Amino acid sequence: MIALAGPAVALEDPIELPSGRVVEFQELRFEVSESDDALLRFRFVSDELAETELDLERLSADMDHLCSEIALPSVPGEYPDPNRIIISIGSEATEFGVSRPDIVQVFEAYSIEDDRCIWEAF
């Protein structure tokens, strides 16, 4: 597991979300789009995701929290000023880009403006 430390959180520790759900950091992926936009993917795992019925309002608050309070303050120095952060939570750790229909996964995209996460509706 990659362990990054930012001013607000140590990603090697379990993270309790506003809903009470606990997630573990899986990985950080960096991508650059054709238009040179920097994208960071923060991937988390919570086995609780598969065990409970998803309350979309609470899940949305959890995802917002992960972006603004966990991911954004933890952006490593080698990836300055990302344009976008993608937050994902899976019920199990998965290999990036590999389809796993048996795994519950949720994703949210955020633009970064003025050091704030702004949710992007797909």
Nearest to 89 by CA among 121, 47, 36: 47
Q: How confident is the model at residue 5 (pLDDT cuts 50, 70, 90)?
A: very low
Q: Given a cut of 90, is residue 21 above it in pLDDT?
A: yes
Note the pTM of the prediction, 2 decimals. Answer: 0.87
Tally Cβ neighbours within 10 Å of residue 24.
16
Higher pLDDT, 25 or 115: 25
pLDDT tens across 34-85, in order?
888 889 999 999 998 887 777 889 999 999 999 999 999 988 888 778 899 9
Q: Are 79 and 40 in contact (CB under 8 A)?
A: yes
The answer to whether domain 15-120 has CATH 3.30.310 is no
Q: Are 85 and 68 in contact (CB under 8 A)?
A: no
Q: Exposed (0-12), middle (13-18) or buried (19+): which is 94, by Cβ within 10 Å?
A: middle
Query: Residue ranges of the domains in the chain?
Result: 15-120
Q: Given a cut of 50, is residue 4 above it in pLDDT?
A: no
